[in-house]
Amino acid sequence: MNFKKLLSWNGFQTAGFGTAPTVYFIGIKGTGMCALAELLHNSGFNISGSDRHEIFYTDSILKELGIPYYESFAPEHIPSEADLVIRSAAYSRDSNSEITEAEKRGIPVLKYTDALGAYSALFDSCGIAGVHGKTTTTAIAGILIRAAGLPARVLAGSAVNGFGNRSTLSLGNKYFVAETCEYRRHFLAFHPRRIILTSVESDHQDYYPTYESIRDTFIAYTKLLPAGGELIYCADDPGASEVAESVNKGMVKLTPYGVNAAGDFKIVSLQTGEERIAVRVAGFPMELKLRLPGRHIALDAVAALALTDSLVKAEYGGWTSEKHKSVRQALEDFRGSRRRQEILGEEGGILFMDDYGHHPTAVRTTLEGLREFYPKHRLVLSFMSHTYTRTAALLDQFAASFKTADLVVLHKIYGSAREEYRGGVTGHTLFEKTKELRNGVYYIEEPMEAAELLKGILKPGDLFITMGAGDNWKLGKVLFDYYRLKSNSSAKDVLQ
């Protein structure tokens, strides 16, 4: 089957289909899977799927869209008229009966990353890549692209407040901007004309045992750029800069951004005050403001601006003052995305926040940004490390990354289905290493069991943040709900 023709169906009798193609998603509740399902649904495809019974935030999105799905896996779920099955990378023919059934019927089965790659080939596409900052950069790019009036589709790796708490924007059919992942070289299926590269350093040690191995994969990704393509890279990141050095400069345009960059996207000033970050960029006529903490967020915003600039010039030939103003306002209105410095609310005088940071660099820069943004708050951190291999490989860096927090509560390591614990480093190992460097650190194996300890620690004026790719976010929600009920009860007592 010609997947490009199938996925280019756009609501008309094209690509040889008299009626809309039928596509079935196995693992449809996954963020990327749900987002791709939504994009195809918006183009008129017949979409259905399956997943586990567990509730995800994507359940509400699928229900709002009217996309039917099963909360179990069974061969008979696959529609008899299915033209294509797209599966999450979490499932294989060895573990999922639906994949086996589709292959038995002769229905083509594509892994999500391959389907995304085939979809990207239909557009002038940009892949947003890097060890850190992919989701935030994609989210900001989406809101700037919309403000600039560009005919694009956007797919982010998390729900975005400015996307209506979805992971996608459908603004037109010319450009496609997507978050692309380096794990297991997944992004090599993508067809980029432009790439944003935010950062390159050692990560995913279960697959990339050395820095050189992950660096070389990013180099391979940039080699997918065609003649006339563009690499937008962070000049402040040594790894991204090293990858940029490998690019054929006669074939691909290099656009650096950051404090150490030359050209239009050099940051000439960056200041924090009154819960705002103010940024001036050499090639933009106005001061830009952000309501999110952290210099790393400012870098993500400038990367998104560089991409928007590239698309505006390609589409319109240049900027107008109206577009400058619209983009500036959109950036100041940006409120972030799910699990990226996501503010749950404030109760009992305590500000509750959740963040996905799970690499020591992300932990350190996020905490430093919060300290600068909220100088009067005491920072109390709950951190749950993700994967034994990452924790073991970066143990010293993790222990040092908590320096800016006033108090730290550590938990067990959140294991991954892609690795097996073979003894050695545990969450308590990280605790012992951290204790060598600082005071004010606690260890509670199970995150939910830390609730009572934290009820005795937290006080008005604190910022409590759960951080990591595990499930300790549930601890933050439980504590937030506890203080909310406590505040409501106090208010009732006063009224009575």
pLDDT higher than threshold 70 for residue 369: yes
Q: Indicate where the chain has its CATH 3.90.190.20 domain(s).
A: 342-495
In this prediction, residue 259 carries a pLDDT of 96
Please report, rounded to a whole number, the percentage of residues in the chain having pLDDT higher than 90.
61
Considering the four listed CATH numbers 3.40.109.10, 3.90.190.20, 3.10.20.70, 2.40.50.140, the one that applies to the domain covering 342-495 is 3.90.190.20
In this prediction, residue 363 carries a pLDDT of 86
Q: Report the distance separating Cα 241 and Cα 231, nearest Å.
A: 11
What pairing do the DSSP bridges indicate for beta strands 22-26 and 46-50? parallel
In this prediction, residue 415 carries a pLDDT of 73
In this prediction, residue 133 carries a pLDDT of 86
Give CA separation, 353 vs 34, 370, 466, 496, in Å: 25, 11, 7, 32
Q: Report the distance separating Cα 86 and Cα 37, nearest Å.
A: 9
For residue range 456-493, list pLDDT tens digits in order.
999 999 999 998 888 888 999 899 999 888 777 654 55
Q: Indicate where the chain has its CATH 3.40.50.720 domain(s).
A: 3-112
In this prediction, residue 220 carries a pLDDT of 96
In this prediction, residue 13 carries a pLDDT of 43
Q: pLDDT band at 243, cuts 50/70/90?
A: very high
Q: Report the distance separating Cα 481 and Cα 91, nearest Å.
A: 35
Half-sphere exposure of 127 (CA within 13 A, CB side): 26
Residue 299 φ/ψ region, left for φ over 0, alpha for ψ in the -120 to 50 degree band, beta for the rest: alpha
Give CA separation, 415 vs 52, 395, 401, in Å: 19, 16, 20
pLDDT higher than threshold 80 for residue 206: no
Q: Looking at the whole model, is its pTM more than 0.85?
A: no
Q: Average pLDDT of 385-394?
A: 85
In this prediction, residue 194 carries a pLDDT of 98
In this prediction, residue 361 carries a pLDDT of 85
Domain 123-333 has CATH 3.40.1190.10: yes
Q: Average pLDDT of 73-92?
A: 93
In this prediction, residue 219 carries a pLDDT of 97
In this prediction, residue 424 carries a pLDDT of 81
Q: Average pLDDT of 95-122?
A: 93
What is the dotted CATH code of the domain comprising 3-112? 3.40.50.720
In this prediction, residue 73 carries a pLDDT of 96
Q: pLDDT band at 12, cuts 50/70/90?
A: very low
In this prediction, residue 56 carries a pLDDT of 81
Task: Choose between 228 and 17: higher pLDDT.
Answer: 228
The residue to which tokens 């809101």 are assigned:
143
Q: pLDDT band at 14, cuts 50/70/90?
A: very low
In this prediction, residue 494 carries a pLDDT of 39
Most trustworthy range by pLDDT among 190-199, 274-283, 330-339, 418-427: 190-199
In this prediction, residue 324 carries a pLDDT of 96
Q: Report the distance separating Cα 171 and Cα 265, nearest Å.
A: 26
pLDDT, averaged across the chain: 88
Q: Report the distance separating Cα 139 and Cα 180, nearest Å.
A: 13
Query: Shortest CA distance to 161 belongs to which of 342, 352, 336, 343?
Result: 336
Q: To which H or E segment does residue 169 belong?
A: strand 166-170
Task: Choose between 473 and 129: higher pLDDT.
Answer: 129
Task: Choose between 490 and 147: higher pLDDT.
Answer: 147
In eight-state DSSP terms, residue 246 is: T
Residue 185 φ/ψ region, left for φ over 0, alpha for ψ in the -120 to 50 degree band, beta for the rest: left
For residue range 15-58, list pLDDT tens digits in order.
455 578 999 999 999 888 999 999 999 888 999 999 998 888 88
Q: pLDDT band at 399, cuts 50/70/90?
A: very high
Q: Are 230 and 247 in contact (CB under 8 A)?
A: no
